[in-house]
Amino acid sequence: MNAPPANPSKRMRIAGVVMLGLAAAVAVLFVFDPSTAGFYPICPLHAMTGLQCPGCGGLRAVHQLSHGHIAAAWRLNPFVIGLLPVALWLGVREAVWIFTRREWPGLVTRPIFGLLLAGALLVFGIVRNLPFCRG
């Protein structure tokens, strides 16, 4: 169980800054396509080996999703798109805690979830580079 924060207003300010930062990041991704804009970072693994890491295509996928192209986003990186509901749950859960001090169930905050996530990332990173899976 989480302990109440020492300074609730500071925690609210931090939450506001995080929410604004996320909104700004999605706005930039909405306006500037990572496929054509030159200022996004490149994946070092892909640049050196030609292999795709589990995160490769994530920015392009979020760009496509922000334009309502769900199938295109899924083709670019199904792992990132599949984890968005989990991220949304965690964000809403944290916001409820910040603003109401009510704690929602922490289904995805248990240690086993982290281990399963790490294993799934490893498997996804291997499978997406198999010759019959590359597009």
Mean pLDDT of 102-106: 79
pLDDT given at position 3: 55
**pLDDT greater than 60 at residue 92:** yes
pTM summary value: 0.77
What whole-number distance in Å separates Cα of residue 54 and Cα of residue 127? 10
Q: How many residues does the chain have?
A: 135
pLDDT band at residue 75 under the 50/70/90 scheme: very high
**pLDDT greater than 80 at residue 11:** no
Q: Supply the Cα-derived Rg of the chain in whole angstroms.
A: 18
